[in-house]
Amino acid sequence: MMLTAVILIVTGHDSRSRLEVGRTIIAILCCAGILLGEYRLLPQTLKAAIPAVLLTGAARAFWYMACRSSRDAPVTARQADGLLCFVGLLLTTACIVFRDVDDETVARFSSAFEYRYLPLLAVNLVATATALRVGKSFLVPIDHGKNEKSYNGYADNISDVFSLLAITGITGSVSAAKLRRSYTSWPQYTFFVFVIALLSSRDLAARHGRRWITMYDAVPDDVNVRSVDSEDTFASELSEGSDDTRVASVPKRRDYILLRTIFIVIALPGAWLAHFILNFSQHAHQKIVEPRPILDITYTPHTDIEAVINMYKEPIDQVAHLVSTLKNMSNIGGDAKIHIYIKDMDANVEEVQKGTGADQVTPLPNIGREGETYLKHILGSWDTLAAQTVFLQADVHNPRELFPRIRNYFVPGQTGMLSLGWSGQVCNCENCGDRFNLWDTTHLFPDISNRISNITTCNQVLLSYKGQFIASAKRIRGVDKSVYQDLHDAFVNRDSWAHQEEYLQGRPDSMDAPVFGYTMERMWNLLFQCNSMEIAWRCPSLLSGNRVGGNIEDCQCFDRES
């Protein structure tokens, strides 16, 4: 929806009038409102999408300018397509060259050419070629065959509006019907409708002869005006508008009017009605049977909240700031116990404890990163687990968004599992993988699911990321202790399956940086029985922070005994 509105703004015709400037400013503010209402914003998406739509508008504006300035030397379709491909190649090359070598998209570039992606690449190739032929784009087509009249007014605005409304309605309906469905809030709809009405008014006003809207002259200075009584003009009009031509065009025009009427009166409202119904239904429309979580309701904790921090060589003052920030949060409190596991065997434990203000500092061998640390804590504190444990790394990911996520969603005494990393990533349990090219080749996910809930079917898995989350003792102890022991053994045992080539498949592996650590990072939601597909679509991204119309359960699983 945001893309649609921005395209309409940036592709509008140029104007010097104050009214047009005012319209543009109001439309930009409305688009800002749509953007602020989006609950799945990602930094990389903003970096790519905003320049993309602005460049789309700039390209269309330059195209109009080129068409008006090249009357004596018109550009052919082949020349235009060749120039477009050349510029696109330059931009693509620049993006690849100037990207950070550690950027995830560079690491995944080669995997895009794998066999399973070939059908998708073929569809993309065909769609791109088709878009070039119909006018450079499906969303904002630029017809190089149009005459000069089409560039001197607002005749294309209404057509673009209807096209984009159709695309938005159809894609919105399809997206809202999927498992990880989309959601659009009422404020976003309001801003979108206002932008559409604002931009459509330019064309409607132009059609009614309100010439003060447009900057264009009624008759260009370089047009040679001929007398309407001249014989050449009369003969030309007679030959171009013969009776046979006019009669033959009547049925075609009627068919065109009929199709356009059906589209405007039936198809377009139908698509948007379906979009509204699916959008405001507060559930995923693909039903997934999810087993009830197994909770240990007999366990009585002696500590309310404990923070377990995995530390290596991070600066002590940085960890001290993390500890103080946690204790200053109202829903964690100053009474929370802080337990630091440090994997730097050369570190001074007393100095770390004094400098960070931790209640306990435990040295560990540098094995398995944070995944092994968390499992070690669970096994070693099985009978002394806090009611709720905050698992973090000393160098937390996304600290700007992490603390608001804890502050806004963590509920003492109720939160069963709250992931503090990326949200909404789902995979198929039997063949789990993600966009970072990590695949469960050993079928560990269905095996763990079966051991937890004693069911043979495992449909979808809600993945966790960043190795930071909050879990309750009821959830942790609801899983048999042997499951944690086997997972921990996979980290620390050099002869375990997690360090064998069948699992590694050529990926570099070491005891202090095991490949299995990435699998464990994604499996915490499954392990703690918080695998709801409702969370997959409801939970906002860390950057967005919240969802209009959402609630505190959007990103977590509560412990409910009944």
- pLDDT tens track for 402-412: 999 999 999 99
What is the Cα–Cα distance from 432 to 475, expressed in whole angstroms?
A: 23
pLDDT band at 96 (very low <50, low <70, confident <90, very high): low
Q: Check if the beta carbon of residue 41 is closer than 8 Å to that of residue 120.
A: no
In a 13 Å sphere around the CA of 55, the CA atoms on its Cβ side amount to 11
**Residues 462, 453, 296, CA angle at the centre, nearest 5°?**
100
Strand order from edge to edge, sheet including 337-342: 360-363, 337-342, 305-311, 388-393, 469-472, 415-419, 556-558
pLDDT band at 217 (very low <50, low <70, confident <90, very high): very low
Written as six digits, the tokens of 174 are 């399809």
Listed residue (467, 477, 468, 479) closest to 520, CA to CA: 467
CA-based torsion, 424, 414, 417, 292: positive or negative? negative
Q: Check if the beta carbon of residue 198 is closer than 8 Å to that of residue 23.
A: yes
Output 182 or 324, whichever has higher pLDDT. Answer: 324
pLDDT band at 114 (very low <50, low <70, confident <90, very high): low
Backbone φ and ψ of 86, nearest 5°: -65, -45
Backbone φ and ψ of 339, nearest 5°: -120, 115
What is the Cα–Cα distance from 112 to 118, expressed in whole angstroms?
A: 8
Give the torsion through C-alpha atoms of 327, 328, 334, 336, to 10 deg.
-30
What does the pLDDT read at residue 238?
42
Angle of helix 481-492 relative to helix 369-380, nearest 10 degrees, comes to 140
Q: Is the pLDDT of residue 12 over 70?
A: no
pLDDT band at 45 (very low <50, low <70, confident <90, very high): confident
What does the pLDDT read at residue 222?
46
Written as six digits, the tokens of 242 are 């013969």
What is the Cα–Cα distance from 292 to 502, expressed in whole angstroms?
A: 34
- The string of pLDDT tens digits covering residues 469-498 is 999 999 999 999 999 999 999 999 999 999
What does the pLDDT read at residue 243?
53
H or E segment to which residue 157 belongs: helix 155-176
What does the pLDDT read at residue 447?
93
Written as six digits, the tokens of 358 are 């931790």
Residue with tokens 């009547």: 250
What is the Cα–Cα distance from 166 to 267, expressed in whole angstroms?
A: 8
Give the torsion through C-alpha atoms of 360, 361, 365, 368, to 10 deg.
70
Q: Check if the beta carbon of residue 135 is closer than 8 Å to that of residue 144.
A: yes
CATH topology of domain 305-545+552-558: Spore Coat Polysaccharide Biosynthesis Protein SpsA; Chain A (3.90.550)
Range in 76-80, 167-171, 233-237 the model is least confident about: 233-237
What does the pLDDT read at residue 113?
66
Q: How many helices (H) and strands (E) does the chain have?
A: 21, 9
H or E segment to which residue 340 belongs: strand 337-342
Determine how many CB atoms are found less than 10 A away from the CB of residue 117. Answer: 12
- Share above pLDDT 90 across residues of the chain, in percent, rounded to a whole number: 40
Average pLDDT on 38-46 reads 87
Q: Is the pLDDT of residue 75 over 70?
A: no
Range among 125-129, 246-250, 474-478 rated most confident: 474-478
- Share above pLDDT 70 across residues of the chain, in percent, rounded to a whole number: 74
Q: Check if the beta carbon of residue 26 is closer than 8 Å to that of residue 191.
A: no
> Residue ranges per domain, the chain?
2-75+144-219+232-279, 305-545+552-558
Range in 13-22, 174-183, 213-222, 504-513 the model is least confident about: 213-222
Coil, strand, or helix at residue 390? strand
The one-letter amino acid code at 528 reads F
What is the Cα–Cα distance from 499 to 482, expressed in whole angstroms?
A: 20
pLDDT band at 499 (very low <50, low <70, confident <90, very high): very high
**What size, in residues, is the chain?**
562
Range in 108-122, 138-152, 400-414, 416-430 the model is least confident about: 138-152
Written as six digits, the tokens of 474 are 């009821």
Concatenated DSSP letters of 450-499: HHHH--S---EEE---TT-EEEEHHHHHTS-HHHHHHHHHHHH-TTSGGG
Q: Is the pLDDT of residue 151 over 60?
A: no
Written as six digits, the tokens of 531 are 């695998």
Average pLDDT on 41-67 reads 78
In a 13 Å sphere around the CA of 348, the CA atoms on its Cβ side amount to 7
- Dmax over Cα atoms in the chain, in whole Å? 105
Output 286 or 44, whichever has higher pLDDT. Answer: 44
